[in-house]
Amino acid sequence: MKTLKKEDISQEVFDLYDDYAHNKIDRKTFLKKLSLYAVGAITLPALLSFISPNYKDSIVVKSNDPRLKSETISYDSPKGGLKMKGLLSILKNTTEKVPGIIVVHENRGLNPYIEDVNRRVALEGFISLAPDALSPMGGYPGNDDDGRAMQKKRSQSEMLEDFIAGYNYLKSHKNCNGKVAVVGFCFGGWISNMMAVRLPDLAGAVPYYGRQPEKEDAAKIKAPLLLQYADLDKRVNAGWPEFEKVLKENNIEHEAYFYADVNHGFHNNTTPRYDETAADLSWERTLAFFNKHLKE
């Protein structure tokens, strides 16, 4: 069987996967269209395996990393009677209060990639919380396809309230100094933008390829923003010009970066959309932003 490489795959395949991952097409349609690119030595199973997440071999900071204390916590959802769960991580033996970071997952629940990002944040001297929006439905089911289907059934406005409740939980945590920012990816990028709209005390927001707020909402933002976009992500980038206009008109502190020749999801090192150069540079900028706005 041919060993696939990123350069073997046409951009149309990445665009097709993006449509599927964002519920633009169902799985049957996705597989039917994907089969058109399975030619010669490239079989459909090989192509599907290549573009699907590989969590087993991609974790940067292991769940049992001895430098960290990581635990599953719960807090009340604003929707009565429901509980939210999340991964809380902090450096072991931390004796002083430190700034907090909310880490927001994509549109498939708290999967291993986002748990990994949560631990990466904690290693930088923050207390980090990654809530799971699927908590009221039993939590991330162990695979992204089912997670995506589950999350589709939840109201986006209710999930936003759940992440805001997570912010309040972290802000009042005994190990947090009260300064809390957010970083989110895809759906989490939209949540990050909307938390900036809703929370005037938010210390900062870093949306990765996140859908932008409506202009009336965008004008309410008080938090500084670091906006990370993929150059090939036409779907999300279409909303940038109007968002940028509102940010400038209202003197909202922001920096925006467009990473050349990379796809939506370039930070996610578990799929071939990952671009190491762009991911590393964007993460370097993210940490510098957090250090500036939460530690200085």
Report how far apart, in Å, the C-alpha atoms of 52 and of each of 29, 98, 212, 266, 272 are.
16, 36, 27, 14, 8
80, pLDDT greater than 90? no
- pLDDT > 90: percent of the chain: 88
Mean pLDDT of 101-129: 98
Does 106 share its domain with 227? yes
Does 220 share its domain with 135? yes
| Within a domain: 243 | yes
41, pLDDT greater than 80? no
| Within a domain: 58 | no
**DSSP symbol at 209:** S
Does 224 share its domain with 151? yes
| Within a domain: 61 | no
Does 97 share its domain with 236? yes
Does 226 share its domain with 291? yes
How many domains, in total, are found in the chain?
Answer: 2
Report how far apart, in Å, the C-alpha atoms of 105 and of each of 13, 132, 234, 289 are.
23, 8, 21, 20
| Within a domain: 167 | yes
**Which pLDDT belongs to residue 2?**
55
Does 22 share its domain with 96? no
**Which pLDDT belongs to residue 131?**
98
Judge contact between 77 and 84, C-beta under 8 A: yes
Does 266 share its domain with 124? yes
Question: Whole-number mean pLDDT of the chain?
Answer: 95
Does 105 share its domain with 40? no
**Kind plus residue range of the DSSP H or E element containing 16:** helix 11-21
Please write the tens of the pLDDT for every residue from 183-234.
Answer: 999 999 999 999 999 999 999 999 999 999 999 999 999 999 999 999 999 9
Q: What is the CATH number of the domain that holds 253?
A: 3.40.50.1820
| Within a domain: 40 | yes
Mean pLDDT of 80-90: 93
Give the rounded distance of the alpha carbon of 111 from its chain centre. Answer: 10
* Pairing of β 176-185 and β 127-132: unpaired
The conformational region for residue 132 under phi > 0 = left, psi -120 to 50 = alpha, else beta, is beta
Q: Which domain holds residue 214?
A: 68-295
Which of 48-62, 177-191, 230-244, 245-259 has the lowest average pLDDT?
A: 48-62
| Within a domain: 1 | no
- pLDDT > 70: percent of the chain: 99
Amino acid, single-letter form, for residue 127: I
Q: How confident is the model at residue 9 (pLDDT cuts 50, 70, 90)?
A: confident
**Which pLDDT belongs to residue 10?**
87
| Within a domain: 242 | yes
| Within a domain: 31 | yes
**Distance between CA atoms of residues 265 and 263, nearest Å:** 6
1, pLDDT greater than 60? no
87, pLDDT greater than 60? yes
pTM of the model as a whole: 0.95
Does 110 share its domain with 201? yes
Does 35 share its domain with 92? no
Does 147 share its domain with 202? yes
**DSSP symbol at 223:** S
**Distance between CA atoms of residues 188 and 159, nearest Å:** 10
**Which pLDDT belongs to residue 38?**
87
**Which pLDDT belongs to residue 167?**
98
Does 217 share its domain with 149? yes
